[in-house]
Structure 1
Amino acid sequence: MARPREFDRTEALQKATKVFWDKGYAATSTDHLLKEMNIGRQSLYNAFGDKRKLYLEALESYQDTTVAGHVRRLTDAESPLEGIRQLLAGIAPEDDELRSLGCLGVGSVSEFGPADPELARLRDRTNRILGEEVSTRIRAAQALGEIDESVDVADATGFVLLTMTGLQVSARAGADVASMRRQADFAVDRLAARS
């Protein structure tokens, strides 16, 4: 009996993620995944299970990486308000191809809605982590007078997360970097305390 071909699991997962990110779950065939991942059908099943399990793993890996990048942009700036600006501006990468993909997580919500409990769990975990970080920065901005203390932290956090989603959908729809960054600036300027 022939031994299954060895392959780099991490690299194969990254390739699968790119396919799902580009096409969505329903439009991605197992054959297309096999071709892009450069593995055989049995290797796919042995390493990842089925297409759905592969999708869940790809989405979770994508979200972990993406949230880490969001949090880094949010917290790297000394000014909390500037951190929020960097968070939103980072939704618009310079790379046209990358920007046009939008967000795999937002695509998942658009494709499946709230009905799938496993996807809802991943979405809720991501929203909780990012929401807590945004709330922390909003409170810090209030303490520094960058955001008025009368602004409700939960409402402002929701506004930032909603703006992120809107920017990600705009990216998928073909928005250019300049217009996306103008919208990010507009949103942050709405949060800024009036002098």
Structure 2
Amino acid sequence: MARPKAFNRDAALQAAMALFWKQGYEATSTDDLLKAMGIGRQSLYDTFGDKHRLYLEALELYNSSRVAEHGANHSDDASPLAALEAILFAIADADPAAHAIGCMGINAICEFGQSDPAVAAISHGSNEQMLTTLEGILRAAKAKGEVAANLDEKQAAQFISAILAGMKVREKAGDDTQQLRAVATFALDSLRAS
């Protein structure tokens, strides 16, 4: 009869996610993970498979929580453009410790590019979800007259997605809140109805 697990799987996954987010995949050893997760080697293999599968699960968890967070931030806003501003300013206003480690999703893209098909698929999927969220916000902003009537929501969502990614890279590179807010404001101003 198998022994029951003596650890909380969700807490262990959260700990692995935090470590991968901070250090990246290559710089994180299995021993680092075991220590952070508070589990033994066999428990890691029995529960998560291997380091790579654990990373993929942690990346999925990170990406899905971030996309859901962005979607929740605008659902009840009277001003869709204000919701978009909140998403952009949340990056700019993050504490300096968050700036130093950046975004796990963007870090994964920078570390792997297209070299790992599984990572690329997760990144592509979360980008598609984010684009759908942004398109919805922009469609609502258009309906309220906050953006130009002829705005192409799909192209504008891709533009904002690129701005978000760029801001996340720049925050990791050391840009401060004021610099990041200036980028966000410029992007928002380019969308506003005249």
TM range (shorter): over 0.9
Q: Helix, strand or coil for the counterpart of 1:146?
A: coil
- The reply on whether 1:94 has 2:94 as its aligned counterpart is yes
Question: 1:59, 1:105 within 8 Å by CA — same for their partners in 2?
Answer: yes
1:165-176 residue pairs with structure 2 within 5 A? 165-176=165-176
- The reply on whether 1:51 has 2:51 as its aligned counterpart is yes
- The reply on whether 1:116 has 2:116 as its aligned counterpart is yes
Give the TM-score, by structure 1 length. 0.92
What is the CA-CA distance between 1:117 and the residue it aligns to?
Answer: 2.0
- The reply on whether 1:153 has 2:164 as its aligned counterpart is no
1:174-193 residue pairs with structure 2 within 5 A? 174-193=174-193
Q: Distance in 1 between matches of 2:29 and 2:149?
A: 51
Question: 1:15, 1:37 within 8 Å by CA — same for their partners in 2?
Answer: yes
Which residue identity lines up with residue 57 of structure 1 in the other structure? E
Q: Helix, strand or coil for the counterpart of 1:90?
A: helix
Q: Which residue number in structure 2 is paired with residue 38 of structure 1?
A: 38
Which residue identity lines up with residue 128 of structure 2 in the other structure? R
List runs of 5+ in structure 2 lacking aligned partners: none
What is the CA-CA distance between 1:4 and the residue it aligns to?
Answer: 8.0
Q: Distance in 1 between matches of 2:75 and 2:39?
A: 39
Give the TM-score, by structure 2 length. 0.92
List runs of 5+ in structure 1 lacking aligned partners: none
Q: Distance in 2 between matches of 1:72 and 1:17?
A: 22
Question: 1:93, 1:99 within 8 Å by CA — same for their partners in 2?
Answer: no
Q: Distance in 1 between matches of 2:149 and 2:12?
A: 48
Structure 1 residues 135, 36: closer, same or farther in 2, change over 3 A? same
Q: Helix, strand or coil for the counterpart of 1:91?
A: helix
Q: Which residue number in structure 1 is paired with residue 135 of structure 2?
A: 135
